[in-house]
Amino acid sequence: MIVGIDGSRAVTEQRTGTEAYAYFLISALIPLAAERNHTLRLYFNHPPSTGLFPEAPHVETTVIPQHRLWTHTRLVRELHQNPPDVFFTPAHVIPYTYRGPSVATIHDLGYHHFPEAHPRTQLAYLRWSTKHNGRSATRIIADSQATKTDLTQLDNIPTAKIDVIYPGIDPDLEPVEDEAWITAVLHKYGIIRPYFLYIGTIQPRKNLVRLVQAYADSGVPHQLVLAGKTGWLSQPILDETEKAEGKRQKHEAHQKSPTSSPLTIDNSKIILPGYIDDDDKPALLSAATALLFPSLYEGFGFPALEAQACGTPVLTSITSSMPEVVADSAILVDPLDKHAIIKAIQALASNSELCQQLTQKGFANVNRFSWQKTAVHVLNTLESCKST
Helical H segments across 37-142, by residue range: 76-81, 110-113, 120-136
- DSSP-derived letter for residue 220 is -
CA distance 368 to 374: 11
Helices (H), 36-119: 76-81, 110-113
Q: 261, 306, 343, 112: which is closest to 331 by C-alpha?
A: 343
pLDDT at 56: 92
109 and 58, same structural domain?
yes
pLDDT recorded at residue 218: 94
**Alpha helix stretches (DSSP H) within the chain:** 17-35, 76-81, 110-113, 120-136, 145-154, 179-189, 208-218, 235-255, 281-287, 302-309, 322-326, 338-350, 352-366, 371-387
- Verify that 290 and 333 share a domain, yes or no: yes
Check whether residue 158 and residue 267 sit in a common domain: no
Residue 112 lies in a domain: yes
Comparing CA positions, the residue from 108, 67, 86 lying closest to residue 6 is: 86
pLDDT at 257: 43
Look at strands 139-142 and 223-227 and give their pairing. unpaired
pLDDT value of position 250:
62
Quick one: CA torsion of 71, 74, 78, 83, rounded to 10 degrees?
A: 20
**Shared-domain flag, residues 256 and 127:** no
- Would you state the pLDDT for residue 264? 30
Q: Which domain holds residue 350?
A: 179-366
DSSP state of 329: S
- pLDDT per residue rounded down to tens, the chain (388 residues): 999 999 998 887 777 778 889 999 999 999 999 999 999 999 999 888 888 898 899 999 999 987 778 899 999 999 999 999 999 999 889 998 999 999 999 998 888 887 877 788 888 888 888 888 989 999 999 999 999 999 999 999 999 999 999 999 998 899 999 999 999 999 999 999 999 999 998 988 899 999 999 999 999 999 999 999 887 778 888 888 888 876 666 655 555 544 433 323 334 599 999 999 989 999 999 999 999 999 999 999 999 999 999 999 999 999 999 999 999 999 999 999 999 999 999 999 999 999 999 999 999 999 999 999 999 999 999 999 974 4
The answer to the question of residue 173 being in a domain is no
Judgement on whether residues 48 and 139 belong to the same structural domain of the protein: yes
pLDDT given for residue 258 in this prediction: 44
Residue 37 lies in a domain: yes
Cα within 13 Å of Cα(56), Cβ side:
19
Q: What angle do CA 326, 5, 21 make, to 5 degrees?
A: 20
Count of structural domains within the chain: 2
Q: Is residue 26 part of a domain?
A: yes
| pTM, two decimal places | 0.89
Measure the CA–CA gap between 203 and 229, rounded to whole angstroms.
9
Q: Is 187:215 a contact under the CB 8 Å cutoff?
A: no
Count Cα neighbours of 188 within 13 Å in the Cβ-side half-sphere: 16
Question: What's the rounded Cα separation, in Å, for the pair 370 and 134?
Answer: 26
Is 311 among the domain residues?
Answer: yes
Is residue 289 assigned to a domain? yes
Q: Is residue 84 part of a domain?
A: yes
User: CATH code at 164?
Assistant: 3.40.50.2000
Asked if the structure places residue 174 within a domain, the reply is: no
pLDDT at 238: 85
Pairing of strands 102-106, 86-89: parallel
pLDDT at 239: 86
Gap between the Cα atoms of 38 and 60, Å rounded: 11
How many residues belong to the chain?
388
Q: Are residues 231 and 110 in the same domain?
A: no
Both 135 and 191 in a single domain?
no
* Residues 208, 342 share a domain: yes
Torsion on CA atoms 364, 368, 372, 374, rounded to nearest 10: -150
Strand partners, 362: none
DSSP string, 282-326: HHHHHHSSEEEE--S--SS-HHHHHHHHTT--EEEESSTTHHHHH
**Alpha-carbon distances of 159 from 163, 244, 324, rounded to whole Å:** 8, 45, 18
Q: Are residues 381 and 341 in the same domain?
A: no
C-alpha triplet 275, 278, 282: angle, nearest 5°: 110
Query: SS3 of 266, please?
Result: coil
Query: Does residue 330 share a domain with residue 378?
Result: no
Count how many Cα atoms sit within 13 Å of the Cα of residue 121 in the half-sphere of its side chain.
Answer: 0
- The answer to whether the CB of 314 falls within 8 A of the CB of 293 is yes
Residues 229 and 251 in one domain: yes
Q: Please indicate, yes or no, whether residues 360 and 216 belong to a single structural domain of this protein.
A: yes
